[in-house]
């Protein structure tokens, strides 16, 4: 694409031409969020993908999200601006290792976070996201032992919230483990009125200093509903774009990371999510590529646990 191309105008033209829906996660750069038809958390995006009547789903997020949209919509074309937009959590759970982990624990129900490959989903009984995990776990009979993967911090948080013992897979998110509890506390001393909002993928010590823990949508809703005027946001800062739009008089600070004092602003940005750019979005709509494709047998096996999740309202 030539320099100076009107990406926004072209994207809007192609959207009409292709009967496409642009779905974007809150961690996308603001320019992408601004051209999206729907912006949401993982659960909201999966529901949106399930219900769309568009012919083409343009998924601005990471690979597992677009793959979930394809699993739900085998006859639609699903494109992702950058096929290399992965996820450290999904990568921390190789399917063959997870298969062994599950086989070594017969009789367990397998609850997998949506941040997993289709192969891992196919090995699971039910999928969850950070916004419905408690409900999903509660749907499993008390006497059935549970394996939860791949995020060990979310898993620990859920054990605490539900009182349910679970065997945890030891995965982590490279973005959320980088927030510094010590520096957040120091910021709280400087701004005692600030409310700390944190995603449950953060480490336990960060969640201990948080006033509110939840999925990206839950954190956005809290930012609007809270009487506080100032917030320290311990999740990927892309969400701050919507927080500012929804609550323009409030102030949002990025939670500081563990790096040296004055470390880069971009350090808490997810390098995978940020692989997508407005130019790549335009290009993928122009070429209908890169496209998500999936073996049909695998798709069907991965679909069942996703459907079980979506049936729980």
> Looking at 33, 68, 115, 116, which residue binds ligand 13P (CB under 6 A)?
115
Look at residue 222 and give the partner it binds from ligand 13P, ligand SF4, none, a contact being a CB closer than 5 to 8 Å depending on partner kind.
none
> Looking at 7, 241, 272, 280, which residue binds ligand SF4 (CB under 6 A)?
272
Q: DSSP assignment of 121-162, as one string?
A: HHT-SEEE-TTTHHHHHHTS-TTS-EEEESBHHHHHHHHHHH
Q: Binding of ligand 13P at residue 116 (CB under 6 A)?
A: no
Q: Which is nearer to ligand 13P, 14 or 178 (CB)?
A: 178
> Looking at 173, 194, 292, 302, which residue binds ligand 13P (CB under 6 A)?
173
Interface positions, 173-212, toward ligand SF4 (CB under 6 A): 173-175, 201
The three-state DSSP-derived secondary structure of 165-183 is CEEECCECCCCHHHECHHH
Look at residue 88 and give the partner it binds from ligand SF4, ligand 13P, none, a contact being a CB closer than 5 to 8 Å depending on partner kind.
ligand SF4
Look at residue 195 and give the partner it binds from ligand 13P, ligand SF4, none, a contact being a CB closer than 5 to 8 Å depending on partner kind.
none
Number of residues engaging ligand 13P in binding (CB under 6 A) = 10
Least distance from C-beta 133 to ligand 13P, angstroms?
10
153, 157, 162, 166: CA torsion to nearest 10 = 30
How many whole angstroms separate alpha carbon 181 and alpha carbon 209? Answer: 7
Q: Which residues are annotated as a binding site for iminosuccinate?
A: 25, 42, 113-115, 130, 199-201, 216
Interface positions, 161-180, toward ligand SF4 (CB under 6 A): 173-175
Helical ranges in the chain per DSSP H: 7-18, 30-33, 42-51, 63-72, 88-91, 95-103, 118-122, 133-138, 152-162, 181-190, 204-209, 216-225, 239-246, 278-287, 296-311
């Amino acid at each position: 694409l030539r320099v100076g191309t009107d990406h926004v105008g072209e994207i809007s033209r192609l959207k009409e031409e292709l009967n496409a829906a642009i779905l974007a996660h809150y961690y996308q750069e603001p320019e992408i969020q601004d051209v999206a038809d729907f912006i949401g958390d993982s659960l909201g995006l999966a529901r949106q993908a399930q219900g769309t009547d568009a012919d083409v789903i343009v998924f601005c997020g990471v690979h597992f999200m677009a793959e979930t949209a394809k699993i739900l919509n085998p006859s639609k074309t699903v494109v992702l601006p950058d096929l290399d937009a992965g996820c450290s959590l999904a990568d921390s759970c190789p399917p063959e290792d997870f298969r062994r982990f599950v086989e070594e624990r017969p009789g367990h129900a397998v609850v997998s976070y949506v941040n997993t490959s289709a192969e891992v989903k196919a090995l699971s009984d039910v999928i969850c996201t950070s916004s419905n995990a408690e409900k999903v776990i509660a749907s499993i009979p008390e006497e059935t032992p549970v394996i939860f993967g791949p995020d060990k911090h979310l898993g620990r948080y859920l054990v605490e919230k539900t009182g349910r013992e679970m065997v945890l897979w030891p995965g982590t998110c490279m973005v959320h483990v980088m927030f510094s509890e010590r520096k957040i506390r120091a910021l709280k001393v400087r701004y005692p009125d600030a409310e700390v909002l944190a995603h449950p993928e953060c480490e336990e010590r960060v969640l201990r200093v948080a006033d509110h823990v939840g999925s990206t949508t839950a954190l956005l809703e809290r930012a609007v509903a809270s009487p506080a005027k100032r917030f320290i946001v311990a999740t990927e800062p892309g969400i701050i774009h919507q927080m500012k739009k929804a609550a323009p008089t409030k102030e949002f600070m990025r939670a500081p990371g563990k790096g040296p004092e004055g470390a880069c602003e971009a350090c808490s940005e997810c390098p995978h999510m940020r692989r997508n750019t407005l130019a790549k979005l335009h290009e993928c709509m122009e070429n209908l590529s890169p496209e998500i494709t999936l073996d049909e047998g695998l798709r069907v096996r991965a679909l069942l646990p996703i459907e079980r999740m979506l049936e729980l309202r």
